[in-house]
Chains A and B, each alone.
Chain A
């Protein structure tokens, strides 16, 4: 009964997840504001800190998350056409693409920590490590949600109602959207 109808205006996914997404975005917004304000107060420290980051790895992560989001969107499309096996397949491909992010992020943390940078070095690294790790935890949580969705889709759980697929996908888009703001803010903007 809840199948997506193109052109019809309605909220994809569950209302509850949207409240949660808004609350999560508030948390990230607060973190970004604190980062920006601290940056304007410590211009040199932040420029030096930014120079030690790896923008290429950041770019790889951006591509990994956006591509993964695209695959998950494809899966919603298949689900709305009732092709649940295909839908599950694309969710798994999305998860696989997102794992690139996890590996890259690990390498990045390791190389920074090998150079002796950590949460306590200065405000820049406090915020860098905290904000990116907090986002990292959200990627893990998003993946857990997607695994649940993929499993249920494979078992044909969304035959009459695809709200669950849309709910998982909405959360997943939030995770990559936050990264799309995070990446330029922390890695790129001088």
Chain B
């Protein structure tokens, strides 16, 4: 570790992984509830468990991004973090707020939670992925401001690199677009329209900048390729991500009320959204094949390459599958969306956070050359278990989705099967998905276990 203050990333990474485990536990619960409807009813109803599953994902990724920033910004800027104390204070604030929110979800009915948190004063609750109480949202804004201040001051004090600037732009955008979660118009079409400004412009806009920056940082470290080369790629990747991603928001505007021209703009631009992900894949493999050194942390390199490939498949290919308006007319809101959501989030954002954890954590734990060979072997096992399980989850959900479209959407009205009758017909695929989910969970536990595997320290082969 070059700077002592980089270790501020440690609590963020550890907490992120703890929440990740929670997310998957609740994923398994709702996966089972798909086929065993009254499982854990009335203690944990489906809607609550789903909310916990999705919100935990978002929150742990935010922890991961913050940890990544605390680790890489000082190293890039070549200066200590502006305030380690602030990073720690914000960690506890964010962790407490997140934990209390999840407890609130599980302990009391959602309506009661809304009441006791004063949602009536500024109603923002009740919208998918943004279910957290208004006070939690305010807490997120406070944490984000403090975080951006801390990171920003560090950047201003030190060397200004492209990676830092791109990362900072992404993080600023993340904070900025989150503000739309406070805008809650009565008109449902308007509400949905601006809701996508948070959801879409996060995952298909500014988060891609964060992902690109982290990937570029890790690739510089593990390949030793010139910074100039990697920065150039980063520039064109983020330019393409923004060109396609911003207007690509239109693929959410097809059926919610905005003007018809969104059918064209949304279809064309989102059809091109795979391009930046494809460039990321070419970029990652290109840099690794041009590597100037064999970095002993092979697990981190594996995660980086896997991240690029899975992001292209999940976000790029599976997104394209149902993004054209004439196709989406039939597939909207089916299991095809769920298939895309799972692989895209895993490939792009889960894997990029694990990539930086895999690279940075051993260094912070005093192993500059990465974990021991034995620990890395376990970690690579977890990579394959989780990744292959996720591929199967995606394939089974895609199969379920295609059947669903076929039985429920394509037939003329009157001949189409009802929603519930369709669900019965695709139950087999939900079972298969649940089994894949269990394997994913085993992979995750293997990953956690890899942190505790001892073994011989790695020597650098020069």
Contacts and interface: CB of A to CB of B under 8 A. Distances in A.
A27 B240 CA distance: 10
Nearest to A120: B259
Contacts of A17: 236
Interface in B250-276: 259, 261, 264-265, 268-269, 271-272, 275
Interface residues of A, number: 19
Interface of A: 14, 16-17, 19-20, 23-24, 26-27, 30-31, 34, 38, 119-120, 123, 126-127, 130
B261 A119 contact: yes
A89 to B, nearest CB: 28
B321 to A, nearest CB: 17
Contact of A27 (B243, B261, B279): B243
Nearest to A15: B232
Interface residues of B, number: 18
* The 10 nearest A-B residue pairs measured at CB: A126-B261, A16-B232, A20-B236, A30-B268, A23-B275, A23-B240, A16-B236, A120-B259, A27-B272, A34-B268
B235 interface: yes
B233 interface: yes
A122 to B, nearest CB: 9
Contacts of B244: 27
Contacts of A19: 236, 279
A127 B261 CA distance: 8
Does more than half of chain A's interface fall in helix, strand or loop, or is it mixed? helix
Contacts of B271: 30
A26 B275 contact: yes
15 contacts: A14-B232, A16-B232, A16-B236, A23-B236, A23-B272, A23-B275, A24-B243, A27-B243, A27-B268, A30-B268, A119-B261, A120-B259, A127-B264, A130-B261, A130-B264
Interface string B64-80: 00000000000000000
A65 B279 CA distance: 30
Given A19-B236, A26-B275, A27-B244, A120 B268 contact: no
Interface in B262-306: 264-265, 268-269, 271-272, 275, 279
A23 B279 contact: yes
B100 interface: no
Interface in B45-96: none
B272 A30 contact: yes
Interface hub of B232, B259, B271 (most chain A Cβ within 10 A): B232
A27 B242 CA distance: 13
Given A14-B232, A19-B236, A126 B272 contact: no
Contact of A123 (B232, B240, B264): B264
Nearest to A31: B268
Contact of A26 (B235, B261, B272): B272
Interface hub of A16, A30, A38, A119 (most chain B Cβ within 10 A): A16
A182 B400 CA distance: 43
B233 A16 contact: yes
A110 B279 CA distance: 38
Contact of A126 (B232, B236, B264, B269): B264
Interface string B184-197: 00000000000000
A20 B240 contact: yes
Nearest to B271: A30
Contacts of A27: 243-244, 268-269, 272
A130 B265 contact: yes
B239 interface: yes
Contacts of A38: 264
Interface hub of A24, A38, A120 (most chain B Cβ within 10 A): A24
A119 B240 CA distance: 24
A27 B245 CA distance: 12
Contacts of A24: 243
Contacts of B275: 23, 26
B143 to A, nearest CB: 35
B320 to A, nearest CB: 12
A100 B272 CA distance: 31
Nearest to A19: B236
A27 to B, nearest CB: 6
A123 B325 CA distance: 15
